[in-house]
Every structure is written in structure tokens, then in C-alpha cells.
């Protein structure tokens, strides 16, 4: 950045296993969002490797990494990132378009997914006519509808009140556990971290702690 050299991540090393729920925990500026972007192939590391299922994601071209994400990765965002001109059904259907699924099957799958997340009857609603919690449920349905192997959730409850946050988090955890998907949550909320199998704490671009669920909760309750 100008004459200043910023080390966003410094000698970070982490293994994440299939079906794990992993929380990247840290304050703003700790490097957790950069770490997520590296893992998802949205940014390339200046040094080191990013391997997903044996695929060296950091070596892929933009076109290759885009195709890889379409087949393997789902995203849940803090700001929802729903397309305002599309209905809930159309927003959830989007990932299936890129997978080449037929229109009829896309709509059936999206409708079923909306029902699973508790939004039956909301298929034709646009985001402007939904609450924050409802929009995030649409975001969850969109992330999961294509059966990705990995789901990245960046502050998924950051714009929600505490009661809605709990409901949304319970829903995410339940759905990924059922499908044995890998979930990586980025958050600064220590309460959310209690739900993870592994809690990775970042500070100034470094991993300072890696704790199991039991170790983390024991420390928090001490």
C-alpha cells in the first residue's frame, strides 16, 4: 500500500478436514477475512500453498478457479448479496444455472430448499419485502442448493439481532451436519465460536491458538 508493506497473513498453516465446522476468530484487522479469501481462491498468496482436496487452488487460472468454486464451494455473506431484481426462488436457483441444471429442476430444487430453511410461500418475494433474517435464510439456501463440499460463511449473523442470529446459526450448523459438508465461519463473535469443532484464533496475521470445541468451551467457561 504505497510505500508501506502490509503482511496480512504471516506463516499461517492450517489443516481442515472433511465435515469439520471451523471458526476463524479474531478482531477486525486480524487477517481472518483475508485468510478466507485465500482459501476460497478469491485472492492468491504471495508465498505458500492452498490445497483443497489435493487441488492446488493457488495455481489455477481465473477461469479454472471460477469453475472450481462453482462445483465445490458455497458462500454465505454478512450483507446477504441477494440480487434485488430477482425473487427468492430465482436467487436460490442462481448457482444451479452455472452447473447446467435444467430450468424445471432448478425451480424444484430451489423451492424445496426454501421450504427447508422455513420460507415456504416466499418463493416470489423480492429481497426488499423480506426481513434481514429472511434474506439470510435465502442466502443459506442459495449457498447449499448446489451441494457444495465446502461452505464459507463471512460474519453470517453480523447484521442480525441476537435472537435471529441464533436461529440462523442453528439452521446453518444443522444443514451442514446433515450433509457432512465442511463449514468455515469467519467471525469476531466468541459465542458463535462455541458451535465449531475447531476454533482458530488469528491476531495480526498469525494463528495464535487452535483449539478443539471442548478446549475452547472449557477456556470460555473458566
Model confidence over 144-195: pLDDT tens digits?
Answer: 999 999 999 988 888 888 888 888 888 899 889 988 999 999 988 888 888 8
Is residue 1 very low, low, confident or very high in pLDDT (cuts 50, 70, 90)? low
Residue holding cell 452455472?
98
pTM value > 0.85:
yes
| Between 158 and 59, the higher pLDDT residue | 59
Percentage of the chain modeled with pLDDT above 90: 57
CA dist 217 and 201 (Å) reads 14
The answer on pLDDT for 104 being more than 90 is: yes
What values do phi and psi take at 55, rounded to 5? -90, 125
What local confidence, expressed as pLDDT, does residue 3 receive? 82
CA dist 204 and 218 (Å) reads 25
CA dist 207 and 111 (Å) reads 41
Q: CA dihedral in degrees (50, 52, 54, 60; nearest 10)?
A: -60
Whether residue 110 contacts residue 141, with contact meaning beta carbons closer than 8 Å, is answered with yes
CA dist 27 and 131 (Å) reads 27
CATH top-level class of 21-221: alpha beta
Average pLDDT over residues 69-76: 91
Amino acid at each position: 500500500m504505497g510505500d508501506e508493506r502490509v503482511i496480512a497473513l504471516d506463516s499461517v498453516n492450517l489443516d481442515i478436514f472433511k465435515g469439520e465446522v471451523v471458526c476463524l476468530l479474531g478482531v477486525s484487522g486480524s487477517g481472518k477475512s483475508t485468510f478466507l479469501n485465500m482459501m476460497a481462491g478469491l485472492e492468491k498468496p504471495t508465498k505458500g500453498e492452498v490445497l483443497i482436496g489435493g487441488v492446488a487452488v493457488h495455481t489455477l487460472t481465473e477461469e479454472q478457479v471460477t469453475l472450481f468454486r462453482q462445483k465445490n464451494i458455497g458462500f454465505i455473506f454478512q450483507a446477504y448479496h441477494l440480487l434485488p431484481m430477482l425473487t427468492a426462488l430465482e436467487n436460490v436457483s442462481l448457482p444451479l444455472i452455472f452447473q447446467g441444471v435444467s430450468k424445471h429442476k432448478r425451480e424444484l430444487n430451489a423451492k424445496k430448499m426454501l421450504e427447508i430453511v422455513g420460507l415456504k410461500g416466499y418463493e416470489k418475494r423480492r429481497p426488499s419485502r423480506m426481513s434481514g433474517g429472511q434474506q439470510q435464510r435465502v442466502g443459506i439456501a442459495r449457498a447449499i442448493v448446489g451441494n457444495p463440499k465446502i461452505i464459507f460463511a463471512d460474519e453470517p449473523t453480523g447484521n442480525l439481532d441476537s435472537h435471529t442470529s441464533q436461529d440462523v446459526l442453528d439452521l446453518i450448523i444443522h444443514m451442514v451436519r446433515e450433509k457432512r459438508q465442511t463449514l468455515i465461519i469467519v467471525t469476531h463473535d466468541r459465542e458463535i465460536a462455541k458451535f465449531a469443532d475447531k476454533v482458530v484464533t488469528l491476531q495480526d496475521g498469525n494463528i495464535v491458538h487452535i483449539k478443539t470445541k471442548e478446549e475452547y468451551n472449557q477456556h470460555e467457561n473458566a
